Amino acid sequence: MNALRDSPILSMSDVTKSYRSGGSLLAASGRRVVALDRISLEINAGEIFGLVGESGSGKTTASRLIVGLETPDDGQIRFGGENIVGLKGRAKREFTKQVQVIFQDPYQSLNAHLSIFDTVCEPLVIHGIGDRGSRRIRVCEALETAELTPPEAYLNRYPHQLSGGQRQRVAIARAMVLEPRFLIADEPTSMLDASISFQIFRLLHRLRETFGVTMLFITHSLAAARNLCDRVGVIYRGRLAEQGTARETIMHPRHPYTKALLDAHPRFGCSNRHGFDTLRDVERPRPETDHCLFYPRCRLAVDNLCNLHAPILKTLDAGHRVSCFLF
């Protein structure tokens, strides 16, 4: 398993994606929003990798690029060594069987008109797998995998008859029914209560242990990432700020933005904060030239350096990488 965990199953190299926003069909003059800016990362087989950042930092864009719902402007995305940008036809279908996504909102991601059986069975139908009898068995197994037991009690129910946590488990069963190698969970618990979220984390963890499925876990919460992930990448405005083992990154954060994210979380059972205090009270104007994207908000920023140059990701000890001039 460890040897497996050391080879990348997914890699992104220098991936950039921008959108036009604010323009209309007639006047395509909108501002260009760079959602991802030369992102490079590797996810090893069997690991749970956390992509952490606040809303709008580019996390969902990364997941949409990986599953092929969007195409990068630049850069390469490889899965199992194969370039997956622009896959078509049979190769695309094979790939979509191996990579599944669980979305944030279990209220919107499930079709209200489909029974739980039809919801979980649909991917088998789409991919032409099995017949009536074998599909029913696979659906029941997938529901059991998602800890909806006994599965027969769920088959004829509809999403509106289930709780938020149960719906998310149905989404997990639907993702797992194809026995994927790679699962993307895009903020899967942000609509759920804390105790239900914790159960879902445990379930995701068990999926990795039982099936060896590799995971990209997307979250705005470093606390959630610490619960679940082996390694994390902290993303700020489409650029990687820091990357390392979950433990090292959270116990010994280097980037002022990672520290700010930790400061935003009071420690469990203890009212005082981490006390890094890296955020300015008032944001500075964004420099016109190249700059560290965190400069306007960074209390530690060095003038004539951070506002004039963009830092690059540097490797510190034990694979810990940070993009900040202070290191």
**Contact positions vs Mg ion (CB under 5 A):** 60
* Residue 201 contacts residue 228 (beta carbons within 8 Å): yes
Minimum CB distance to ligand ADP, residue 51 (Å): 8
State the Cα–Cα distance between residues 8 and 24, nearest whole angstrom: 41
Q: Is 108 a binder of ligand ADP (CB under 6 A)? A: no
Q: Which of 9, 12, 15, 35 touches ligand ADP (CB under 6 A)? A: 35
Q: Which of residues 56 and 86 has its CB atom nearest to ligand ADP in the complex?
A: 56
Q: Which of 60, 219, 258, 278 touches ligand ADP (CB under 6 A)? A: 60
Q: Is 169 a binder of ligand ADP (CB under 6 A)? A: no
Q: Which residues of 7-19 are buried (b: 16+ CB within 10 A; e: fewer)?
A: ebbbbbeebbbbe
56 binds, among ligand ADP, Mg ion, none (CB under 5 to 8 A by kind): ligand ADP
* Residue 312 contacts residue 255 (beta carbons within 8 Å): no
Q: Which of residues 162 and 218 has its CB atom nearest to ligand ADP in the complex?
A: 218
State the Cα–Cα distance between residues 229 and 27, nearest whole angstrom: 44
83 binds, among Mg ion, ligand ADP, none (CB under 5 to 8 A by kind): none
Q: Is 53 a binder of ligand ADP (CB under 6 A)? A: yes
Cross-strand pairs, 185: 102, 217
106's tokens:
């279990």
* Among candidate residues 108, 102, 101, 106, the one with its CA nearest the CA of residue 167: 106
Q: Is 21 a binder of ligand ADP (CB under 6 A)? A: yes
State the Cα–Cα distance between residues 238 and 158, nearest whole angstrom: 38
Q: Is 287 a binder of ligand ADP (CB under 6 A)? A: no
Q: Which of residues 60 and 145 has its CB atom nearest to Mg ion in the complex?
A: 60
Tell me which residues touch ligand ADP (CB under 6 A). 19, 21, 33, 35, 53, 55-61
